Amino acid sequence: MFSGVVYAEQIDSVFCGILTSAFHLRRTHVDFQFELPHRTLSTEQQAVLDAVNRLIAILPDQPDPDAARRFGLLILEVAAVAPQTELAPAAGFSQERSVRVYKERVKEQGLAGLFDRPISGRPAVTTQTPVEQAFIQVVLAAVIEEHALPNDADLAERVNQVLRESQASEAGCVTASMVETLRLRWGIQRVPLQQALDAAATQTAEPGPVQLGRTQVGGAFVLAILLVETGWLKLAKLLPMAPGYAVTATQWLLTAIFSVIFGIQRAFHLDEVCDLGFALVTGRPRPLSHSTFQHILRAVPEQAAQTFYARSAKGEVKRLEPGPRRISVDGHNLPRYTHLVDLEKGKIGNTGRILKAEELVWAFDLDARLWLAMRAYHGTNKLSQALVEIVREILKHRGPSQDQVRLFFDKGGSCGHVFRDLLRFPSVRFYTFAKRTEENVAEWEQMPATDFEKKQFTFNKHADLPAEQRPAYRLADTDMTFNVWENHQIVNTVALRAIVLHDPQGQKPAERWPVALLTNDRTRDARALLNEQGDHWGQEFAHRIGRHDLDSDILPTGYVLKTTRDEQGELHREVEFDNTAFFLSAWLHCLVFNLMTLFAQALGGDYTKLWAGTLLRKFIRRPATLYLIGKELHVVFDPFPGQDELQPLLDKLNGKRVALPWLNHLVVQLSIAQGEPVYPLTEPEKRNRLFRDG
């Protein structure tokens, strides 16, 4: 018996050699993967399935993309990964007979038998209307009169007889094989009599309710239903699993998502999880071990992670309602406490310390409260590098829409080349702050008094303060010119609208010139723009929520330390930079944040304003009992304060009868235990026995 890894490598080498002569590689490849979600595979079988999927992914989609699917199907059938009845629908065939057809064609014609060729001559007999009508007539008559379906040879005889009586030209041409084709096309299956009797004799009543156990996070099943509706799980096939593990991509993705929901901060905490609910929402009888989870994460290829990100990010942008959007782009540093890795230092936002760090640049919709795009970097100060890329990506996902995209970002993106590139997008209006450099401060100090408005400016947030405590500023609505640098040379200039605030009483430049807002928006009122600019901090608040409530700052590093021993026995460490695990983990945290936003929107009303931490505490992390009743999984919450606020959503989701594809398509039904008090110690007898001395 080969190990899973060796088995997969042998399959790759053998079949890649065979296919080289039959398929010519091109730029576009077959977009199909075999999935067997209802079958538990051994390590060797999973290795074969993964190898076949990897082979299909590199095959061209020309001239006949279905040929690759048929070839993979035959490999899986020969390797006994699954029976024909399961392989046929997995390959997109409506009849398992198709497996036998292509198997015979390959035996006779070799690999050429995988390709369909134009059929010459007249149309097939089975497609002729008189033949189909005669077949249906014969079948109905047999069932009504004989209460059984004769064999295909007898049916063929009767069909030919009906055709002769009607003097049809196809009379005498219908064979038993043609009858089988017609029967399967119409979905008429023949069950042998003895098999039917045996099935009837052994058929038992529907099993009664079974209590599976308890979970401390019953609300995870509410999120599981919403997760099915997002469509993210359909993208799991884009993440290939490391060979040698009997783990599907769906199970790994579910583990990554629900680890955040269950408050599992680090991968090695997975080994300590004993919650049945966590096992079920991740599609496994028991949770993954931390070593398996991390090994699979580190083995995901960079291109696969980028493809998963691109498809899922496009879905998040498409989720936005039409019309103008307000999007904030900003970078956040994650400290890395290492002496061995050479990383650029930067300021850590929550501590103010200057440390080695890696940076994530995120795009956040301020109104929908959704993360839309992301970039990951080694080092810091990468906002100017990522900004235009992210804007271009979002515009691409939005399609031909000409609705305005109003872009807010910090001083880190305030550069001439960024301004130049953003001005090339007609639908983009951007808002940022000018850097308080010596040159800019000197320019502002030279502004004549006539540039300032007579009416002083006060922020709306300060309007309720007493007059003596209310800050007031001089406001100038003017223009500023910025140089565009390339290769240490000025290649162009950019003119922008500048809304400058001045406090004559200030001593330091930051006090005298607190705000200089730069924008290409020349239509909106200057005072309205200054008051709106504070909304940009909504992204900072969302990042804070992610860090404290969803542990979005606990991410794997973008590098790996590899230790080797030389001939003298000395240990040496080498740094291998690879952003894939860092990038993919960060984006999955963004999707979890978006999932919590969708949950808030599903609750509706004032709950749409609640952030993830509040929702987790009030509704999600609530104990529940799990029952298996027929083909339904019942989640019964223990009574809790505020349960009536969740009941309308539970009723709505129950009405949808959503099935979880990773749990044998069980339909989830949600309820709250009735007749039990929220606070059970209200009876005097219990209280006296427990607290009488107090």
Alpha carbon 4 to chain centroid, angstroms? 28
Residue 271 bridge partners (DSSP): none
Task: Determine the 3-state secondary structure of 345 from DSSP.
Answer: strand
Between 660 and 47, where is the model more confident? 660
Category of 205 on φ-ψ map: left (φ > 0), alpha (ψ -120 to 50) or beta: beta
The burial of 436, by beta-carbon neighbours within 10 Å (0-12 exposed, 13-18 middle, 19 or more buried), is given as: middle
Q: What is the distance between the alpha carbons of residues 569 and 525, in angstroms, rounded to a whole number?
A: 71
Q: For 248-257, 550-559, 672-681, which range has the lowest pLDDT when averaged over its residues?
A: 672-681
Which pLDDT belongs to residue 12? 44
Which two structure tokens, joined as six digits, stand for 634?
A: 């019942």
Extract the runs of DSSP E, i.e. beta strands, from 503-558: 515-519
CA distances 45 to 20, 293, 690, Å, are 24, 20, 58
Going by their DSSP bridges, the two strands 632-637 and 666-672 should be labelled as parallel
pLDDT at 486 over 80: yes
Between 39 and 368, where is the model more confident? 368
Which two structure tokens, joined as six digits, stand for 201?
A: 């004799």
Q: What is the distance between the alpha carbons of residues 682 and 268, in angstroms, rounded to a whole number?
A: 41
> How does pLDDT run across 237-286, given as a tens digit for each residue?
999 998 888 899 999 999 999 999 999 988 888 988 899 999 999 999 89
Phi, psi of 633 (to 5 degrees): -105, 115
Q: 580-603 and 290-299 are packed helices; what angle lies between their axes, rounded to 10 degrees?
A: 110
Which pLDDT belongs to residue 18? 37
What are the contacts of 93-98 at 24+ separation with CB within 8 A? 95/184, 95/185, 97/180, 97/184
The burial of 473, by beta-carbon neighbours within 10 Å (0-12 exposed, 13-18 middle, 19 or more buried), is given as: buried
Which among 477, 480, 433, 432 has a CA at the least distance from the CA of 455?
Answer: 477
Show Cβ contacts of residue 365 under 8 Å, excluding neighbours closer than 6 positions. 320, 325, 326, 327, 371, 372
Which pLDDT belongs to residue 109? 76
Which two structure tokens, joined as six digits, stand for 13?
A: 């080498």
Which two structure tokens, joined as six digits, stand for 443?
A: 């320019």
Mean of the per-residue pLDDT values for the chain?
A: 85
Going by their DSSP bridges, the two strands 370-378 and 354-365 should be labelled as antiparallel
Q: Which domains, and CATH codes, for the chain?
A: 4-114 (no CATH), 125-202 (no CATH), 304-540 (3.90.350)
Between 637 and 138, where is the model more confident? 637
Which among 441, 439, 404, 442 has a CA at the least distance from the CA of 519?
Answer: 404
Show Cβ contacts of residue 213 under 8 Å, excluding neighbours closer than 6 positions. 276, 625, 626
Torsion, Cα of 520, 522, 525, 531 (10° steps): 0
Q: For 94-108, 127-141, 506-520, which range has the lowest pLDDT when averaged over its residues?
A: 94-108
> How does pLDDT run across 42-90, given as a tens digit for each residue?
777 778 888 888 877 777 766 566 777 777 777 887 888 877 777 777 7
Buried b (16+ CB within 10 A) or exposed e, 74-105: bbbbebebbebebbbebbebebeebbeebbeb
Which among 37, 35, 84 has a CA at the least distance from the CA of 665?
Answer: 37
